[in-house]
Chains A and B, each alone.
Chain A
Amino acid sequence: MAAEGSASFFRLNAVDRHGRRIDPVVLAAVEEVYPRAFAHGLRLLGDPAVVTDLLEEVAADVSQSIKTKDPPGDPEPIRNLPGYIFTTFKRRVNTLKHKELMMLEAAAVANASKLAWTDPSRQLELKILLDEFLAQFDSIVQDMLCRYLVGFSWKEIGKVHGLSPHAAEARFSHAMQQARERLKI
């Protein structure tokens, strides 16, 4: 874990939050990229403690990797260790950010459906729209809806129905639009 300190000056420890040791050579390389990595991580993740923890984890991973791949007596150092660490760190930040966005998206969808269920007039409006949509449109559009709800892409939906991705999306959007216009919703 990152050492205590002011928010603007977080320091790296020689051990990550899981208690794994960081090789002194790796620690020196991390210190070299620290300002750049810290600024990048802070911009995307927003929490200096999380950024420092993540950097320490990367350093511990790299230390273990070096230890495993370079047994004593046969050293084969990574040519650009600071660059390698920075790239690995950036990849971890992106993965973390992607997970965070996925969770926010899932929460927004869950919240949207919860809102609809708790507001009777909104619920009725959506029910009428859905009934209209299902009643007026053919089995292909109904199947497209099911696939879309599971998370199929338009490419996948189009392929299974013998349509291009654009044609599949256009057919579905047109059906939605027609239902909305007919009901003036």
Chain B
Amino acid sequence: MRDKKRKETSDEEFFGFAKSYLSEAFPNPQRVGCPPDHQLTLQAEHPQETDPAVIQHVTSCSPCFVRYMEILADLKRLKAG
């Protein structure tokens, strides 16, 4: 029980860190290799139909990661509404 609690806390810490880290650690001011916005939207709506390179770029480019988070959050709101 205690182990489970510890693991949960640790996962919580990991996800909190992941969000902050991916949002800030890879600045790409020149937007080198960034996919267009519609590719990110397609990734959010139909991930099985997009090039795997898109999500791999998203997790190594902070501006794209932040934008993808926004698109996903909008999608979630739309589905909830």
Interface of A toward B, CB cutoff 8 Å: 108-110, 112-113, 115-117, 123, 126-127, 129-130, 134, 138-140, 142-143, 145-152, 156, 160-162, 176
The complex places the Cα of A110 from the Cα of B22 at a distance, in Å, of 15
Query: What 7 A-B pairs have minimum CB-CB distances, sorted nearest first?
Result: A113-B16, A139-B52, A112-B13, A116-B17, A150-B72, A126-B17, A112-B16
Please give me the residue from chain B that is nearest to A179 by CB atom.
Answer: B14
The complex places the Cα of A70 from the Cα of B81 at a distance, in Å, of 33
The complex places the Cα of A109 from the Cα of B8 at a distance, in Å, of 11
A171 to chain B, nearest CB (A): 14
Chain A residues, CB < 8 A from B56: 139, 142
The answer on a CB contact under 8 Å between B18 and A145 is: yes
Please give me the residue from chain B that is nearest to A113 by CB atom.
Answer: B16
The answer on a CB contact under 8 Å between A126 and B47 is: no
B37 to chain A, nearest CB (A): 16
The answer on a CB contact under 8 Å between B18 and A130 is: yes
Q: A113-B16, A126-B13, A145-B18 are in contact. Are A150 and B47 (CB under 8 A)?
A: no
**A–B pairs, 25, beta carbons within 8 Å:** A108-B12, A109-B12, A109-B16, A110-B16, A112-B13, A112-B17, A116-B13, A116-B16, A123-B17, A126-B17, A126-B21, A129-B14, A130-B14, A143-B43, A146-B55, A146-B59, A146-B68, A146-B69, A147-B72, A149-B15, A149-B69, A150-B72, A150-B76, A152-B72, A160-B46
A105 to chain B, nearest CB (A): 9
The answer on a CB contact under 8 Å between B21 and A109 is: no
Chain B residues, CB < 8 A from A146: 55, 58-59, 65, 68-69, 72
Interface string of B45-59 (1 = CB under 8 A from A): 011100010111011
A116, A148, A161: the one contacting B47 at CB < 8 Å is: A161
Chain B residues, CB < 8 A from A161: 47-48
